[in-house]
Structure 1
Amino acid sequence: MAGSERSDRLEVILSLPDHPLLHYITPLPQEEIQSTLEQLYSAFYIGFSQKERLKLAQEVYNWLIQPAEVDLAANNIQTLVFVLDGFLRNIPMASLYDGQQYLIEKYSIGLSQGLQLFPEGLESARLNVLMLGLTEARQGFTPLPGVGVEIEEIAKKIDSKTILLNEEFTQVAFQKKVEGKPFRVVHLATHGQFSSDPEETFLLTWDTRLQVKEFSELLQEQNRDPIELLILSACQTAAGDNRAGLGLAGLALRSGARSTLATLWSVDDLSTAEFMIDFYQVLTTKSETNLTKAEALRQAQIALIKNPQYNHPYFWAPFVLVGNWL
């Protein structure tokens, strides 16, 4: 499903299996579309009126999803993959609201650079993971105590893992591990920022800010086997950057990873730990259940929605899967 803003309308192209493309238009001035999307983005922060947030989320749902509801139901669609344009890239599709439930409660959701399906999913039997994280304050960034819990609990679920935490997580150590053997999953629980400006896109290690170009080159050292899943926990897009989604998409593309899981804004440390633990719980049983990464994402988000402490979209909505959703 591709969504695009134009000067006087919002256009959606829907591709269904074995069907011709469907095309529908919402005639609206670009200024009104942009204003609504910016208001919705602001509404995800705690303290904003829930009634107003749901109203905005339903309005965008009616633009993008409502015209396709009959076709989606008739074709038993279970996963929606979005190719988004403009400020839509900064809006979590999971949070769109039909008046009764969120979109993530109905569908698994992924993001793509284009409608291209990769031939293989992630096999849990080959789930060897490189885990890197910071729990302590570094370079002016706040501590992330939840990262310790996150890595400890995830490590219990995985047989094959390598862990670099705090002072062990330097750029040189990271590079040596990547060059040493191929990893199917690389999990980074650290501060980071994504922007449309590559100079403002980086990941934090113990000793430096790893710029997007350096990070991409480092991961491409692992050229014997592609990274199936790159997880960026505790990272965020640059606030106020209308094209910040391009930073995330660009990093995912340049890294060579088949898919990237990240967040659209900096979320609560402890709720993110819970989310990641639930996500890995599904991944590690994937071969038995035949679930996709998009469905693992969905189940982890649903678990937060069902938790009264974390059911606000601020906690669960920003997690997005870019690339191969299988």
Structure 2
Amino acid sequence: GNITTGDQIAVTNQGNASINNQAGANITTQDQIAIGDTTNITNLPGGELNTGEVIQISPPPSIPIDNTLPQQLPQTPITPATPTVTNLVPQPITPSTPANNILQSNNPISNPTTTNITQSIQSNSTISTTNNPNLPNKKSDRQQININTDTKTALQNINIINNTPLTVAANSQTLTALEQNRNNEFTDHFGEDLLTQNTSIKNIREVLTDIARETGKNSAIIYVTAYQEELQLILYTSDSDPILKTVPAAHRQQLMEVVLKLRVQITTPSRRYTQSYLPPAQKLYNWLIAPISAELEAANIDTLLFSMDEGLRTLPVAVLHDGQQFLIEKYSLSLIPSISLMNTNYRPIQDTRVLAMGASEFIKQNSLPAVPVELKTISQQLWKGTQFLNQDFTRNNLLTQRQNYPYPIVHLATHAEFRPGAISNSYIQLWGNEQLQLDQMRQLGWNDPPVELLVLSACRTAVGDKNAELGFAGLAVAAGAKSALASVWYVSDEGTLGLMTEFYTQLNNAKIKAEALRQAQLAMLRGEVVITEGQLRGTAARGAVALPSELGKFENQNLSHPYYWAGFTIVGSPW
């Protein structure tokens, strides 16, 4: 018969982590994650195979680390053990599984039902990712940054400003080299020069000052770079010179393990009613935020813009936790590719119109039954606009509607995938077999006049892949939009509807887009957005939203767990 499961996660501290699915008919699973000394994921369907992300992590050979600052280590080629993804039909093997569902050394598991196996990750690891199990396994791109000679030279010119080795003053050469490296990453991936402005320390401070005057929001820009032996943070504020802080405790390998563990703890269905995400969320807060918290407090900062290094661009920073509260409870947040690749102009978007388009039925992907309700509620009740559904959701119609009227907000309720490999692999699904590839988005002319906000309400990004991350973090600039709202993992239909309706409710009153998202996330966190008796209820006086019959089984559901809200991110300008 068929096999249908949720996420399948096999983790062992030592030995082989294996997932083995065999069915006479179809196999349908969500994400498959195997972490161990060696890994194996085997899917043997008699019919169709549909999986989510397939992630395998196995340790590389150990490399001695010299923590001398700031000299960088020479880049040493790493040849990890190659994990195996098999979707062809070998001789079926179904070993026994321990009754306690904890994967023992060299003990594969067979999954006729939902399997969730999680233990703490204690060994170093490297990440291998493929989104299509029908293709040969492809090792992910490098997991460590390669800095060019200019950056190495610049780092030697850092001036120590006090006796602690963790705080240094970054000179202009250091900052320029880092900015150029960031820009080059995105330019190489997208295949064109995306530069929107030339930046200097002076005009960055001027931008932050102007934004504060126009919006009343005090913003800070944080560059996060994960070197092999330490984490580096560079902080820009409007009223002081940039500072550079290093965190030797957070070497790259350890950092990436904790980032992955956080995602696994948040997105695993069996942990949806627990707080198992708190330990990694607190550890990441201590590495990424605590070292600069005093400076943020002194400058009265309320909005943070993160330019992240490879491996961190899909980190849900909203869920970082200081032991008392989530980061989103204190700051509005956004992810930027770099300062130079961001539109820094400010324009209020209240009293504007939205072009809302989407699909609820698909040929090869799961249906999205809440999309018709989402489009109608947003375009007719929460905002003014026009909606198009299913067969009217085509590239030609998208072009025509925006040419006929310069909608400042474009809302696309459909599947979108940021995938490994070339930029053309990432796409937004339109009606039928039609897809809008990421490298085609600039052809839509959304930069003239600019789309102020692009919303993708049902998307996800491949874990641990450099190119997928670049596609996500560069979404706004690639589309020619000032800002984008998207999610780093797929959120359930009812959860997406809850977040989106609350976001547009808050957008009416918020000064900036990131604050509207923050208020929507806080409403969900506080249990103010709930499903009761087949209706979605939020903070607005609009009343309840009736759910489609397909979602009627969710008679009572709390949407406060970070799975439902933490993955949504403002990409590009938060303003």
TM-score by length of 2: 0.53
**Which residue does the alignment assign to 1:306?**
526
AA of the residue aligned to 2:564? F
Please report how far the alpha carbon of residue 158 of structure 1 lies from its aligned counterpart in structure 2 after TM superposition. 5.2
**1:2 aligned to which of 202, 223, 244:** 223
Structure whose residues are more often strand by fraction? 2
Provide the secondary structure at the position in 1 that maps to 2:241: coil
**Which residue does the alignment assign to 1:58?**
282
Matched, 1:47 2:47: no
Matched, 1:38 2:263: no
How do residues 174-323 of structure 1 correspond to structure 2 at under 5 angstroms? 174-197=398-421, 198-207=423-432, 208-218=434-444, 220=445, 222=446, 224-286=448-510, 291-307=511-527, 309-323=558-572
Matched, 1:133 2:350: no
- Cα-to-partner distance string for 1:199-237 (whole Å, 9 max, x where unaligned): 32001111312211223312x1x5541110000111111
Does the CA contact (< 8 Å) of 2:336 and 2:573 recur in 1?
Answer: yes
AA of the residue aligned to 2:241? P
Please report how far the alpha carbon of residue 59 of structure 1 lies from its aligned counterpart in structure 2 after TM superposition. 0.4
Higher mean C-alpha deviation, range 234-243 or range 203-212 = 234-243
Higher mean C-alpha deviation, range 91-100 or range 67-76 = 67-76
Does the CA contact (< 8 Å) of 1:129 and 1:160 recur in 2?
Answer: yes
Give the Cα–Cα distance (whole angstroms) in 1 for the partners of residues 384 and 518 of structure 2: 25
**Which residue does the alignment assign to 2:347?**
121
AA of the residue aligned to 2:292? A
Please report how far the alpha carbon of residue 239 of structure 1 lies from its aligned counterpart in structure 2 after TM superposition. 4.1
- Cα-to-partner distance string for 1:242-296 (whole Å, 9 max, x where unaligned): 442211233321211001110001101111111111111122234xxxx211100
Larger relative contact order, structure 1 or 2 (CA cutoff 8 Å, min sep 6)? 1
Structure 1, unaligned runs of 5 or more: none
AA of the residue aligned to 1:8? E
AA of the residue aligned to 1:206? W
Provide the secondary structure at the position in 1 that maps to 2:234: strand
Give the Cα–Cα distance (whole angstroms) in 1 for the partners of residues 336 and 384 of structure 2: 29
**2:386 aligned to which of 145, 148, 162:** 162
Matched, 1:82 2:306: yes
Please report how far the alpha carbon of residue 192 of structure 1 lies from its aligned counterpart in structure 2 after TM superposition. 0.9
Give the Cα–Cα distance (whole angstroms) in 1 for the partners of residues 427 and 452 of structure 2: 21
After superposition, the Cα gap between the structure-2 partners of 1:152 and 1:56, relative to the gap in structure 1 and judged at 3 Å, is same
Identity %: 37
Provide the secondary structure at the position in 2 that maps to 1:21: strand
AA of the residue aligned to 2:568? F
Larger Rg: 2
User: Pairwise CA RMSD of aligned residues?
Assistant: 1.9
After superposition, the Cα gap between the structure-2 partners of 1:251 and 1:73, relative to the gap in structure 1 and judged at 3 Å, is closer
Runs of at least 4 residues off by over 6 Å: none
**Which residue does the alignment assign to 1:67?**
291
TM-score by length of 1: 0.92
Structure 2, unaligned runs of 5 or more: 1-221, 531-557
Does the CA contact (< 8 Å) of 1:58 and 1:96 recur in 2?
Answer: yes
Give the Cα–Cα distance (whole angstroms) in 1 for the partners of residues 463 and 254 of structure 2: 21
AA of the residue aligned to 1:212? L
**Which residue does the alignment assign to 1:100?**
324
Does the CA contact (< 8 Å) of 1:187 and 1:232 recur in 2?
Answer: yes
